[in-house]
Chains A and B, each alone.
Chain A
Amino acid sequence: MAMKFDKISDGVYELDVCGFVCPHPQLYCKKSLQKIESGDTLKLIFDNASSGETIRQMLDQQGDEITAETTEGGKLVWMIEKG
């Protein structure tokens, strides 16, 4: 079972951690944001609702911004701009 981290285009990355449960989504999200540059966008795809509350506060503390979020079929997609 693997997480997927891909570069979609210049400055846009995708992290897919569907199937992973706590604490993996928040850990991979944190570490992925550490790898990208300020101003870059991370498209985070996860399906463990419980991780969302922690990720939201983590982003707020770090100065990162959620620019869009959707939920479909229990799958959450967040667009995160690194601050």
Chain B
Amino acid sequence: MEENKNTTAAFIVTGALLLITALYAMADNNYMYLNVYIWFGVAYGLMLQYGRFCFASASRDLFAAGVPRMAVGILVALMFFSVIQAVLMATNMSTFHPAPMGIQTIIAGLIFGVGMVLAGGCASGSLYKIGEGNGTSILSIMGISFGQAFFVTVGNKSWVPQAWIESSTSKAWVPKDKVVSWFDYYLTGFIFDQPTTQLSKTATFKDMGVAKYFIADSLINSIIPALLLIVIIYVFYSKKPFISKRQRHNKKNPDNQLALSGIGVQFEGIWSMITASTRTTIMGVIIGCTAGLHIFVMKGMQMKYHVTNFGQLLTQMGHGSDVGAFGNVFDPGYWYITTQEAQFAGWILDKLGYNVRDSVFFGVVNGLPELWRNPALWMSIGIIFGAMILALLNNEFKFKPPKGELIVWGLVGGTLMGIGSRPGLGCNIGAFFIRAAGGDPGGWVFGLGMVVGGFFGVKFFNWWTERKMASEMVDF
């Protein structure tokens, strides 16, 4: 009975998404651009939910429970994505661009890492968990959204060093009336001055033809570090349980003894770790490939419409108020979370009369489109509903309203993720996953910060749960 109800609900959600797609297609041919984002979002949502794919789990479950499934799943996804990304770069079909890297990258990763452990999910994980009925994740996303919107619009030039002000003022192309908040000076006077690195474009590799994308970006920047990390994780977290499991087997089966040492055993152990959670690892492979396909399709859409940004289509359609000072809106061209959530909160604040448009973040770089014309926001909505469809079909959907301490963890964690994602120019996806797989070493720097932040978050929760267990178990 309940199963039938859930299946019906899954069909209703799917039908609603199809209807939205049809309405956009009928309204204007240009909106097919939005439809592509919607359905890639749905695909990510389905895969994230099925694979229980959450970047917060990677460090959290490793440090808290000794479980490496998610860390391994992410590294597998990263390797596959990097190969596809290299193919796209080699064929000039990539929308990838590296981002500036500096001390701020690791600090931002650290703040983000603490936040994602407290919130119980990373930026993409919180979206798919909303689709499972997790009310705490709704609060996390609100924290991410409003945390960012306030972070980029508060303060003024008195908050920043004189050097940033001078550097910002010296840039003739920067619309001066939009440089108001501290973050505006941070972006235009500090971040925009920092170099970006894509390994294939450095002096060592740039003359190697198309092979540079596979050797520098994929092999050196992604695959080798990912394989090394898999070995390190095995040695520190999986080797002992793997050998103990074999020892238990040998004790129970005197006639069927398994080897306990030797290089072959260690390779078996690593393979056993990789395949321990089939659904996570398989989804890692498929997510990696899908993220690559997404870039390919978005590039194809841009070629079809003869644009480099959806903002140009919005302007053609007469929606000039949606775009930033240079006619662009946030249109990453690949899997990305957080900036669109900042736009969601910015849109609400704008409607409430709070001036967010006089800022570099909303007024120049990303624009502030109406919610129904925001391409990347549709990707986030797609993730929620994609996850919801699968959770309903598997009878795993249950609405869990946020209660008690979870309200605090959701809001505080989400806000920290929002604050961490802005100076880092992205979240676990945009600042780590896409960058590390695309040949930008800065992705690993953000990732390192995220793992260290996750470690501190776990330390806190360990202390907290011990305390609660002690009070609950006082009678034993």
Q: Is there contact, CB below 8 Å, between A22 and B462? A: no
A7: B residues at CB distance < 8 A: 476
> Cβ of B137 and Cβ of A21 under 8 Å apart?
yes
Kindly report which residue of chain A lies nearest to residue B68, judged by CB atoms.
A57
Q: Which residues of B contact A48 (CB under 8 A)?
A: 132, 134, 400
A27, B464: Cα distance in complex, Å: 10
* Residues of chain B lying within 8 A (CB to CB) of residue A73: 2, 398
B395 adjacent to A74 (CB under 8 Å) = yes
Q: Is A40 on the interface with B (CB-CB < 8 A)?
A: no
Shortest Cβ distance from B190 into chain A, in angstroms?
Answer: 35
Contact yes or no, A28 B465, CB < 8 A = yes
* Complex: chain A residue closest to B457, CB-CB: A23
Interface string of B309-352 (1 = CB under 8 A from A): 00000000000000000000000000000000000000000000
A1-29 CB mask vs B (1 if < 8 Å, else 0) is 11111010000000000011111101110
Interchain CB contact under 8 A, B468 and A3: yes
Check A28–B469 contact: CB distance below 8 A.
yes
The CA of A31 and the CA of B183, in the complex, are separated in Å by 43
Q: Is the CB of A1 within 8 A of B61?
A: no
Q: Are A5 and B400 in contact, with the CB atoms below 8 A?
A: no
User: Do residues B400 and A27 form an inter-chain contact, with CB atoms below 8 A?
Assistant: no
- Interface of B, secondary structure class, is helix
CB distance from A25 to the nearest CB of B (A): 10
Q: Which residues of B contact A30 (CB under 8 A)?
A: 64-65
Which residues in B have their C-beta under 8 angstroms from that of A1?
A: 403-406
Within the complex, the shortest CB–CB distance from A63 to chain B, in Å, comes to 6
- Say which size band chain A's interface belongs to: 35 or more
Which residues of A, 32-70, contact B by the 8 Å Cβ criterion? 32, 35, 47-50, 52-58, 60-63
Which residue of A19, A23, A53, A58 is within 8 Å of B400 (Cβ)? A19
Q: Which of A1, A21, A56, A71 has the most C-beta atoms of chain B within 10 angstroms of its own C-beta?
A: A21
- Contact A5 to B396, CB < 8 A, known contacts A23-B461, A35-B476: no
Is A74 in contact with B396, judged by CB distance below 8 angstroms?
yes
B263 at the interface (CB under 8 A from A): no
Expressed in whole angstroms, the minimum distance between the Cβ of B388 and any Cβ of chain A is 12
Contact B245 A63, beta carbon cutoff 8 Å? yes
Cβ distance B61 to chain A, nearest Cβ, rounded Å = 5
Question: 13 pairs across A/B with beta carbons < 8 Å?
Answer: A1-B404, A19-B400, A19-B406, A24-B461, A30-B65, A50-B52, A53-B277, A53-B279, A54-B57, A58-B67, A61-B67, A74-B397, A74-B398
